């Protein structure tokens, strides 16, 4: 848990400014990003990706294969604030990849998210390269959520591994769970250093808060506008 004295660095999600050493994903960056689940039946990876999506009137295309639905469940769109979902449910990973490619070419979408379970043969480096090229050509951000303890090769610009940590203390009931906290490991990225952070989403401010878990202490707080990055 993160105490009030060491809450880490704030990252405002709606700001268009960026700082090079910020770990947060840029919501407006039109690239492919991977988000791997650290363990089975852990909703942290879904929550993390939802927190990183751009807040826009344009919808988000969310595609799942059957195994991902069984393990991760379905995202309940009406409960989301600032995000409109177009959910597509298919049976096989090849259909997820096809729908993601078609969606990534649609500039009327604010983002595309696909969920694939395991390491099916169709999800190879070539398939992710096609997604990356389509995303960068159209300007539509793409997230690929991978569960089932599978990594494999990927052309993604950033690769994150997300898992749950003990929640924060509830402000009114010590027996109840408080705000969720996730462990986010950036283990591959272009132009960024890898690291591990404890992360929480602050809904009121629409921002992520990072606290380093890489052994170098908490990130220094900086409340200036230039310290905020898109997320």
Q: Which pLDDT tens digits describe the chain residue by residue (231 residues)?
A: 333 333 444 444 433 332 234 456 666 688 999 999 999 999 999 999 999 898 889 999 999 999 999 999 999 888 888 889 999 999 999 999 999 999 999 999 999 999 999 999 999 999 999 999 999 999 999 999 999 866 788 999 999 999 999 988 888 888 888 889 999 999 998 877 888 999 988 877 777 888 887 654 444 333 222 223 323
CA separation for the pair 184, 163 (Å, rounded): 7
At residue 81's C-alpha, the angle toward residues 115 and 70, to 5°, is 25
The reply to whether the predicted model has a pTM over 0.85 is no
- Strands (E) across 111-206 are located at 111-117, 142-147, 158-165, 181-189, 195-202
- Distance, in Å, from the CA atom of 153 to the CA atom of 103, rounded to the nearest integer, reads 22
């Amino acid at each position: 848990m993160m105490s009030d004295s060491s809450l880490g660095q704030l990252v405002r999600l709606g700001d268009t400014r960026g700082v090079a050493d910020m770990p947060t994903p840029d919501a407006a960056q039109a690239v492919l990003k991977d988000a791997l689940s650290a363990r089975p039946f852990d909703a942290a990876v879904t929550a993390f990706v939802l927190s990183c999506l751009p807040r826009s009137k344009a919808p988000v295309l969310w595609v799942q294969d059957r195994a991902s639905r069984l393990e991760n469940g379905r995202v309940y769109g009406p409960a989301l604030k600032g995000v409109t979902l177009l959910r597509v449910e298919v049976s096989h990973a090849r259909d997820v990849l096809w729908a993601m490619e078609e969606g990534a070419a649609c500039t009327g979408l604010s983002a595309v998210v696909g969920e694939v379970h395991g390491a099916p043969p169709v999800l190879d480096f070539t398939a992710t390269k096609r997604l990356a090229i389509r995303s960068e050509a159209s300007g539509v951000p793409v997230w690929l959520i991978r569960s089932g303890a599978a990594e494999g090769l990927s052309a993604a610009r950033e690769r994150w591994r997300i898992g749950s940590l003990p929640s924060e203390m509830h402000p009114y009931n010590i027996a109840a769970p408080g705000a969720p906290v996730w462990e986010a490991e950036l283990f591959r990225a272009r132009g960024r250093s890898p690291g591990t952070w404890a992360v929480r989403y602050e809904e009121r401010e629409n921002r992520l808060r990072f606290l380093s878990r890489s052994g170098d202490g908490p990130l220094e707080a900086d409340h200036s506008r230039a310290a905020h990055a898109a997320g």
